[in-house]
Amino acid sequence: MRPRFVIFVVLFASVACGRSDMLGVPAGAKVAAGGGAGGIEPGTGGASATGGTTGSTGGSLGSGGTVVHTITEFILPSLVSQPRVIVAGADGNLWFTEYNLDNIGRITPSGAITEFHVLSQDAGLFGITAGRDGNLWFAEVLAHRVGYVTTSGKITELALTPDTSLPKGVAVGPDGAPWFTGYLGDDIVRMTTSGPSAVLSCGLGGVWVGIVAGPDGCLWLTGNASDSLCRLCLDGNATLYDLPNASSQPWGIAVGPDGNLWFAEYGGNRIGRITPVGDISEFSIPTPASYPIDIVAGPDGNLWFTEDAGNNIGRITLAGDITEFPIPTPASGPAGITVGPDGNIWFVEQNGNKIGRINP
């Protein structure tokens, strides 16, 4: 069956929809999984499926007139999988985590999807990053473990010490190794294929989620529960920066083309910017209570971010001008966002059970 496309013309942002549970670990059991168009195979095998797609044509007004952007959505083969974070792999595909079904997903730039099931039950897969070793490293927030998957789909899982840290975020550090944040503790862990090799601390526990390697050779982390940022160098030197406003709840963080760190304030409804020396600026998002989650530097010189409740993909220039692009699926809950090997912006819809794509 040929994929169906539904085209919408939009010029303004949609109204805000309900927020998801992205901010923390959901209470109680996971959502029950239903049948889908494709299956999954436990262990290192995977099952492939090409999900249906829907398209949306959006317009953003600029100094040169109307620039047309297109959002395309790819339906995941398994229902209620709750995709969380997405990253471009060394194989030219996009890789993402599925929180509810304990799958690592892979989608080609043309939309072909394969899912690989991890061995741990109720793992709660969360952050994922492309390692310099060619593997995709991921966090298992409920299983208190981390793991990596080869581009052929072979999965290895590793225990953390201590095993109660609830790892969430992961990024490749300045040293080329994957570093994980511990949401319940203050352990920032360096991993190798043999297990943990170093543990650093910001000096404040129970808050760290987002992580990125900064242009200054240090790690930068977002303190979701402390309204703070941490600059953590590999020699163990840590500096904390308090955000100007309470309940900002910073989440995703990325290095901008200007050499500054840009971050999403989930509770503050702002995009923040901090220079490597600690000067902070904040920019309000037009849609109220949009709950921005993740952010990435685009190939167009701007930064792109997801709005969980706003149901938009946002774009912010280095001068702080924000444009929003509505997602066709209502209340889709966009979360992780990345730049694909095709130069497009890719994102996950944790409530819509889809992978989305927009041209910058």
Cα separation, 129 vs 57, whole angstroms: 30
Left (φ > 0), alpha (ψ -120 to 50) or beta: where does 256 sit? beta
pLDDT tens track, the chain, 360 positions: 333 333 333 332 333 345 555 544 433 334 433 333 333 333 444 545 555 555 544 444 444 457 789 999 999 998 899 999 999 999 999 999 999 999 999 999 999 999 999 999 999 999 999 999 999 999 999 998 999 999 999 999 998 866 667 899 999 999 999 999 986 778 899 999 998 899 999 998 768 999 999 999 999 999 999 999 999 999 999 999 999 999 999 999 999 999 999 999 999 999 999 999 999 999 999 999 999 999 999 999 999 999 999 999 999 999 999 999 999 999 999 999 999 999 999 999 999 999 999 999
State the pLDDT at residue 340: 98
Report the alpha-carbon distance of residue 63 to residue 298 in Å, rounded: 19
Instruction: Look at residue 23 in the predicted model and tell me its pLDDT.
Output: 47
Partnered with residue 348 across adjacent β-strands are: 355
Please, what sign has the CA dihedral across residues 142, 25, 188, 214? positive
- C-alpha R_g of the chain: 19
pLDDT of residue 184: 73
Give the model's pLDDT for residue 39.
Answer: 30
What is d(CA 246, CA 253) in angstroms, rounded to the nearest whole number? 18
pLDDT at residue 78, as a whole number: 86
Q: How far is CA 345 from CA 19, 75, 157, 214, 229, in A?
A: 22, 17, 29, 21, 26
Tokens of 169: 């975020």
Query: According to the model, what pLDDT value does residue 251 have?
Result: 97
Q: What is the pTM of this model?
A: 0.87
Query: How far apart, in whole angstroms, are the C-alpha atoms of residue 181 and residue 212?
Result: 10
What is the residue-wise DSSP string for 277-327? T--EEEEE-SSTT--EEEEEE-TTSSEEEEETTTTEEEEE-TT--EEEEE-
